Structure 1
Amino acid sequence: MTPASTELARLRALKPGLHVHDDPALNAEPPIALLGEAITPAEAFFVRNNGDVPVVGREDDWVLTIDGEVERPARWTLDALRARFETVTLTAVLECAGNGRSQFSPATDGLPWRLGAVGCARWTGVRLADVLAEAGVRPGAVYAGHHSPDRLIADPSRPALSRGLPIAKALAPETLVAFAMNGEPLGRLHGGPLRIVAPGFPGSAWQKWLDRVELRPCEHDGEKMGGTNYRLPTAPVAPGEPFDPSRFAVITDMPVKSLITTPLEGFTVTCGETLTVAGFGWSGAIPLAGVRVSGDGGVSWQDAELAEGEGPFAWWRFSADLVVERAGSMSVLAQARDVKGHVQPLEIVWNPRGYCNNQVHRVAGTAREG
């Protein structure tokens, strides 16, 4: 078997319910039916790669290098990280910036993700801020650049991805160098033995297989940091309209969003019965305020009950009971809002790379006569 086919077989064994995208890199997502739990199990968690899945060897041999704009460059083994720094666990949503890209019309470049490139997990590790403080952050550091051993499949001489974080986010207390997920050692498909956890930021900033953090005196210019990669236009761009890549800004906050996990697409319900609509709402850096649902395609709305999740970066479960009054086709919607008044749009907001689709989630079904 080739390395690629071996990795595919491994993924199918570990994550049998996922849809594997037709792409040279290994990319897969679960159907919504597998996303009904407050903590997404590893077997249901999506997998995103820009290049190969590197062979990482023994965990005991893994070394994390800290260099660049620091006073004391350092090298840390996993055991040394655990021994020197406080271990913390936080719950956070990880979402690919391209989640929902298949809904854009006209289509954009990039993987046609459905709605499954998202999950919520408990991440355990050490604070990146503690590791950087030990090295001594120089005043000129403005960005953290992250490095990994994965390589582009088409050109193995080049990194597959080398993105980073503004220094304020790198030093934020929620940003981790993680070595565990849901209480288990971080699996290789999810970036083990070490990865960045950057709650609120898109998945591209959560560097997998982390082996070096380089503090930079400028915005990091690693692989897929430039051009329109993981960037949004600073002003609206219509389909077919020429655009200037210099007028795109790095995505540093994922938008408010919701996902209906019940009922599922194609549901049936009997007139006069109550239909429970439930799922999860989440946001980036701005706290979630609430979710409302509609059973008539958005003509009327009802506030859902919101159960607090495991911290500000987790997704929160919402639930509402709708009385089904008319037979025929139904369109159930969920719309989340954050505390600053940002609301999921009813229609998709198009952009050239198909990022940050947070239009309301619609689920179609049928109400039949009782």
Structure 2
Amino acid sequence: MSRKTERSVQELYRDDPERADAVAFGRRGALKGAALAAMGGAVGAAIPFGANMPAGTLPALFSRPAAAQGSAPAVLQMEGKGPLILQGERPLNAETPETLLDEPVTSARNMFIRNNGGVPEVPADPKAWKLTIDGEVNTPIEITLGELEQRFPVVTRQLQLECGGNGRAFFSPQTRGNQWGNGAISNGEWTGVRLRDVLQAAGLKPSAVATGHYGADPHLSGEPGRPSIARGMRISKAMEEDTLLAFRLNGAAIPLVNGAPLRLVTPGWPGSLSQKWLTRIWVRDKPHDGPGMGGTSYRVPVKPIVPGSSNNGADFVDLESMPVRSILSSHAHGARLAAGTRSLDLRGAAWAGDLTVRAVHASVDFGATWTEMQVAAPANAHAWQRWTGRVELPSDGYYEVWYRATDSNGRMQPHLPANWNPQGYGGNGISRAAILVG
């Protein structure tokens, strides 16, 4: 006897949005009448702006991934860390709910965790930790952390650090990798020395075009000497003033799980370039080819490919400056507010890789109208920007706060993640947070 395979409502909306509307809520086109009542019953409240809800759109209350909702099957239990969303235990990966990012400078407690291998042993003497700079340099350097701090100018900067797969969960069809919502982002206050100062001391040869980074994190296979990840960047990014060899976070030692005692911080570009437990920087005469480079690893298509198709990445390019994105930190997705609430005071953060944020807008009527928020200047280059603003609500009911940012080049977050790729990099679609009033 054959058995018919049933699809979830999320799968139905992904595969055939128009049919999904008809099956789930009995609507085709504008939401009204019995269809409006059906959807209101599903979300548990009247939908004041229901007529504006785009056809083929599942309410955010049901469609946002668990990680984006601030609730998930498992929560990280770790001393010194807040209730982060556990994305995986081997390797350890954990996401920060957007409401825990409601602080101008991200605390160590609330900083997300992204690992590719194991966590190395705590060094007995952090000052004795050694870093090697070799390859296309005139004078290879082997230097301790203590010597780094004494020999080179020490600087402190607020810097955004974001996983290249942030927002991966919003791609459809689903891609490989940890299903991050919007919370694989931080804006810590990092203290260290500029990588360019150390590279200049080593003396770059004219042949130096790229770096390759190595850390002490053991490979999950247990194979000695096998790197878990070894990514690299163009030498021009390595020479920027905000690319740091960091040894303190928010004035204290970096937590071990976040890369102590020494890590790279390469702000604005994928966090995989911010090598943790840093032991070596290999200056190369060609683009680096270590684990995490080439193919589809941290790379995106030059020309769009069919979503869900396989591809070897031959025509892809490295993901460098991260795309514009915003978070809402004042209200959790799924929040229930008191009856009679007629306005929302919103706040959050926005950033745009190497660029700055020009504007942030929010909507509570499914994108029919948008209210411009106030956007603060960044504390320094490569720091995120905080935003605030108020939106009005006409009555009790079910609302969605849609929020989007626009970068300094005029590029706005798209309605849906664009440029689908097999590993889900750079997905920065407009986010939607469900709010119920009354």
TM bucket normalised to smaller? over 0.9
Deviation at 1:326, TM superposition (A): 3.6
- 1:99 and 2:166 are equivalent in the alignment: yes
Moved more, 357-366 or 135-144: 357-366
Higher mean alpha-carbon deviation, 206-215 vs 17-26, is at: 17-26
Describe how 1:103-118 pairs up with structure 2 within 5 A: 103-118=170-185
**Could you tell me how far apart the structure 1 residues matched to 2:76 and 2:255 are?**
12
Q: Which residue of 1 aligns with 2:378?
A: 309
How many Å apart are 1:334 and its aligned residue? Answer: 0.9
Q: How far, CA to CA, are the matches of 2:173 and 2:434 in structure 1?
A: 22
Q: Percent identity?
A: 40
- The TM-score with structure 1 as length reference comes to 0.93
- Residue of structure 1 in register with 2:436 after alignment: 366
Q: Which residue of 1 aligns with 2:400?
A: 331
After TM superposition, the structure 1 stretch with the greater mean CA deviation from structure 2, 15-24 or 168-177, is 15-24
Counterpart CA distance in 1 for 2:392 and 2:178 is 38
Partner of 1:176: 244
Corresponding residue SS for 2:78: helix
Contact 1:12 1:18 survives alignment (8 Å): no
User: AA paired with 2:309?
Assistant: E
Contact 2:76 2:83 in 1 (8 A): no
Q: Which residues of 2 match residues 1-370 of structure 1 at below 5 A?
A: 12-57=78-123, 58-157=125-224, 158-269=226-337, 270-271=339-340, 273-349=342-418, 350-368=420-438
| Contact 2:242-2:382 within 8 A present in 1 as well | no
1:298 positional shift:
0.9
Which residue of structure 1 lines up, in the alignment, with residue 7 of structure 2?
none
Q: Distance in 2 between matches of 1:297 and 1:311?
A: 34
Deviation at 1:223, TM superposition (A): 1.2
* 3-state SS, counterpart of residue 12 of structure 1: coil
User: Equivalents in 2 of 1:83, 1:341: separation in Å?
Assistant: 43
**Comparing 113-122 and 136-145, the one that deviates more:** 113-122
The structure with the larger Rg is 2
- What is the letter of the counterpart of residue 106 of structure 2? T
Q: List alignment gaps of at least 5 residues for structure 2.
A: 1-74
Task: Report the 3-state secondary structure (helix = DSSP H, G, I; strand = E; otherwise coil) of the residue aligned with 2:79.
Answer: helix
- Structure 2 residue identity aligned to 1:39: V
Distance of 1:109 and 1:155 partners within structure 2: 23
What secondary structure sits across from 2:329 in the alignment? strand
The 3-state SS of whatever aligns with 2:173 is: coil
Between stretches 156-165 and 69-78, larger displacement belongs to 156-165
Q: Secondary structure at the match of 1:134?
A: helix
Separation (CA, whole Å) in 2 of partners of 1:210 and 1:196: 7
CA deviations on 1:56-113 (whole Å, 9 max, x unpaired) are 4221321111110000011111111111110001111111011122222221111112
Point out 4+ residue stretches in structure 1 off by more than 6 angstroms: none
Distance (Å, rounded) in 2 between the aligned partners of 1:208 and 1:217: 23
Query: Which residue number in structure 1 is paired with residue 23 of structure 2?
Result: none
Deviation at 1:149, TM superposition (A): 1.7
Give the 3-state SS of the residue equivalent to 1:27 in structure 2. strand
* Between 182-191 and 241-250, the greater mean CA deviation after superposition: 241-250
| 1:65 alignment partner AA | T
Which residue does 2:43 correspond to in 1?
A: none
C-alpha deviations, 1:200-239, integer Å up to 9, x for none?
A: 1110010111111110000001111121111111111122
Moved more, 183-192 or 214-223: 183-192
How many residue pairs end up in the alignment?
361
Amino acid at match of 2:118: D
Stretches of structure 1 lacking an aligned partner (at least 5 in a row): 1-8
Give the stretch that moved more between structures: 130-139 or 230-239. Answer: 230-239
**RMSD over aligned Cα, in angstroms?**
1.8
Q: Secondary structure at the match of 1:262?
A: coil
Deviations along 1:110-134, one digit per CA (max 9) or x if unpaired, are 1112222111101110010000110
Deviates more, 1:27-36 or 1:332-341: 27-36
Aligned mates of 1:55, 1:358 — CA distance in 2: 36
How far does residue 176 in structure 1 lie from its aligned partner after superposition? 0.8
Q: Secondary structure at the match of 1:352?
A: coil
Q: Residues 263 and 276 of structure 1 are in contact (CA less than 8 Å); yes or no, is this contact kept in structure 2?
A: no
Alpha-carbon distance between aligned partners in 1 of 2:437 and 2:274, rounded to the nearest angstrom? 43
C-alpha distance in structure 1 between counterparts of 2:311 and 2:180, whole Å: 24
Q: 1:93 corresponds to which letter in structure 2? A: Q
User: Which amino acid in structure 1 is aligned with residue 431 of structure 2?
Assistant: H
SS of the equivalent of 1:82 reads: helix
- Whichever residue aligns with residue 213 of structure 2, its letter is H
